[in-house]
Amino acid sequence: QVQLVESGGGLVQPGGSLRLSCAASGSISGFRAKGWYRQAPGQERELVASIESDGSTDYGDSVKGRFTISGDNVKNKLYLQMNSLKPEDTAVYYCKANIRPTGMVWGMDYWGKGTLVTVSS
């Protein structure tokens, strides 16, 4: 019933920018954005950026200074602004959030199905 859906991926030239969005749908009572992950072909899934309930953020070394994570826990959305993109940023990007469905006391972590970002040319 509850799901996360990423959008905003696509093909971009090196040095370009993209903004990824993640939106939750379904019957939701609580939403807490947690972070973005990515998985490149033949690679393990890795943390790109995380965000805590106090607003603090953390970034992987490879994206530090280029990417910015933000969230809106009222609108049930999560964002990733990606600047100065490099070919090595090519990957499927996944969002993660803790969601409490309507009628439930406890929330649980949900993952999006991913959106492909390709940096080439």
Q: Is the dihedral of CA 6, 54, 46, 85 positive or negative?
A: positive
Per-residue confidence (pLDDT) for residue 1, from 0 to 100: 83
Q: Is the dihedral of CA 92, 95, 101, 105 positive or negative?
A: positive
Indicate the DSSP class of residue 41: T
Per-residue confidence (pLDDT) for residue 117, from 0 to 100: 98
**pLDDT tens for each residue of 20-30:** 999 999 999 99
What is the residue-level pLDDT of the chain in tens, covering all 121 positions? 899 999 999 999 999 999 999 999 999 999 999 999 999 989 999 999 999 989 999 999 999 999 999 999 899 999 999 999 999 999 999 999 999 999 999 999 999 999 999 999 9
